[in-house]
Amino acid sequence: MAFGFAQAFRTFGKLALAGAIGASLAAGDVGAEQKTPSPGSAKALFGGASLPTQGPAQPIGFYAKGCMTGAMALPTDGPTWQAMRLSRNRRWGNPAMIALLERFSQDAVRYAGWPGILVGDIAQPRGGPMLNGHSSHQIGLDADIWFTPMPARSMTAKEREDLPFTSMLQKNKFLTVNPKVWTESRARLLMLAASYPEVERIFVNPAIKKKMCDTWTGDRTNLGKLRPIYGHDSHFHIRMKCPPGAAGCTPQAPVASGDGCDKSLAYWFTPAPWAPAKPPKPGAKPPKPPREVMVSDLPKACAAVLDAASVASMQAATYGAPSAASALVASPATAPAADAEEDMLPDVGPLPNDKPTIQ
C-alpha cells in the first residue's frame, strides 16, 4: 500500500518508449511460439488428441505441466455464454470448471449487468501443452473469458473465428486502461469471478489491476486474487484451485493476503519487466534454444492418458443436456490459427528471477 504509483511513474518517466520495448519483447516470443512442434513432442501429441479419455475426471500435475482425464466440453452455446474459436477444439475442462463457467455466466447476467460471456480457450481434450499459445491451461482448471460482451444473437462458427480481440488498453500509452472501452460492468465481472471460493487467481494486465485498485469501492476482500501479468488486456484468465480429492493435482501457492495494490503491482510500472533480453557478448556462442517439452517431462500418468480409450463422441462428453446449438462445429483443429494477442506473451511469465513473487 505504501508504494506510490506516482513514484513508480517518476522512476519510469524516462522510458517513454516502453510500449515499443514491450512489443519487441513480444515479437521475440511470437517467433518462439510459432515454431511447429516436432512430431512426438508433448505439444504435437496432446494437440493431436481430438477426444477426451473415458472415466473419472482428474487433473494431473500442474497448470503449466500436466494433463487431464475425463474432460467435459462446454457446449458451444448456452443462454448466457458462447464459446469462441471453435476450430481450436479447446472447450474441454475439468467438469468443475465447466460447471463454474455456466454458473459464472448466469451470475454475470444477474449481478454484473453483463449480457453473457464469450469463452476463449479452456484446454485441449486431454489437456497437456498446447500446440500454440499459453504455457498453462494444461489440466482443465484454467479458462479465458473475453472482455467483449456476448452479442444478443448466436454468432456463426466463422464469426467466432474472426471476431477480433478488443484491448482494454490505450494505444501508444504505457499500461493505461482506455476510458473509452473500460466500463464498470467489466470491473463487476472481474470481482464476480473472484468471488467464488474455488477460484484462486484471475490473471489480468497490470493496467487493469491498477484500474481496479484505484476505482473499486466495493468489498476488496477478493481483490488480491486479481494477479497482474503480461498480456491479458482483451481477456482475463480464471484459474481454479485443485478440486477437493484431486490427489494428482499439484496446487499453486496461495496468493498473498491483502488486495495486491502494493509493491507487487508497482513493479510492473518499472522498466524491469519490460527490459529486452541482454544481447549475447560479442563472440560468445548463441544460447541453445530451450528443448521441446516431451511427454516424459510431464507427470508419469500423462503417457497413459495419451493412450487411454476415448469417449464415443464429442457430444457424449458435452456438459449438460445435448443442445441443438452444440452441433455448431467448425473444421477440426489440426493447426489452430494463432491469435496474435495471445501468442505474444505466455500466460505465466517470463518471470524475472530477482523480483518479488508476482503470481
**Residues engaged in binding Zn ion (CB under 5 A):** 144, 237, 347
Residue number with CB closer to Zn ion (209 or 237): 237
DSSP structural state of residue 296: G
Residue number with CB closer to Zn ion (144 or 200): 144
Position closest to Zn ion via CB = 237
Smallest separation, CB 168 to Zn ion (Å): 15
Residue 270: partners with Cβ closer than 8 Å, 6 or more residues away: 8, 11, 12
| Cis peptide upstream of residue 332 (ω within 30 degrees of 0) | no
Spatial distance between the Cα atoms of 128 and 302, rounded to a whole number of angstroms: 8
Q: Are strands 81-83 and 77-78 parallel, antiparallel or unpaired?
A: antiparallel
Smallest separation, CB 40 to Zn ion (Å): 26
Smallest separation, CB 144 to Zn ion (Å): 4
Smallest separation, CB 88 to Zn ion (Å): 13
Smallest separation, CB 202 to Zn ion (Å): 10
Listed residue (143, 134, 70) closest to 105, CA to CA: 143
Helix (H) or strand (E) holding 105: helix 95-111
Residue number with CB closer to Zn ion (120 or 248): 120
94 touches 139 (CB < 8 A): yes
Amino acid in position 225: K
Phi and psi angles of residue 226, each rounded to the nearest 5 degrees, phi first? -75, 115
Residue number with CB closer to Zn ion (121 or 311): 121
Residue number with CB closer to Zn ion (102 or 341): 341
Residue number with CB closer to Zn ion (18 or 139): 139
Spatial distance between the Cα atoms of 20 and 48, rounded to a whole number of angstroms: 36
Smallest separation, CB 238 to Zn ion (Å): 8
